[in-house]
Amino acid sequence: MLHIVNKSPFERSALDSCLRVAPKGGAILLYEDGVYAACVETTVTDTLKAAAIEYSVFVLGPDLAARGIAPDRVIEGIEVVDYGGFVDLVEEHGPVQSWL
């Protein structure tokens, strides 16, 4: 299963719920305002660093660029993907759980 999260971790609890429920070893994609979770030096960085060890965590590049987040500001261990990569993740991991 692919878990996708599009809400800011500073405003909404979608990512917390995802990390609480999703079985370890699964795949999580951050997109839209969810990409703010992938940044270094924030109050949620430690949570995401831990998540990147327990899960395969991805972040959508076009949404990072739109928000002015440079690739070198993305937490190590989180992989940046493009739209094609998003499609590949869906294909590889099957059903999608969308944490709106």
Partner 1 sequence: MNELEPDYDTEGVVKKFMFVNRKAPYGTIYALEILETVLISAAFDQDVSVVFMDDGVFQIKKGQDTKAINVKNFSPTYRALEGYDVEKLFVERESMEARGLAVDDFVVPVEVLSAEELGGLMDQQDVIITG
Binding footprint of partner 1 on the chain (CB under 8 A): 6-8, 10-11, 32-33, 36, 39-43, 45, 61-63, 65-70, 73
Determine the residue type at 19.
Answer: L
**What's the closest the beta carbon of residue 84 comes to partner 1, in angstroms?**
12
Q: Which long-range contacts (CB under 8 A, 24 or more apart) does 6-9 make?
A: 6/30, 6/31, 6/32, 6/33, 6/34, 6/98, 6/99, 6/100, 7/32, 7/33, 7/34, 7/99, 7/100, 8/33, 8/34, 8/36, 8/37, 9/34, 9/36, 9/37, 9/44, 9/47
Considering beta carbons, is residue 50 or 66 the nearer one to partner 1? 66
Considering beta carbons, is residue 36 or 55 the nearer one to partner 1? 36
**What's the closest the beta carbon of residue 58 comes to partner 1, in angstroms?**
16
Considering beta carbons, is residue 26 or 80 the nearer one to partner 1? 80
**What's the closest the beta carbon of residue 83 comes to partner 1, in angstroms?**
8
**What's the closest the beta carbon of residue 22 comes to partner 1, in angstroms?**
21
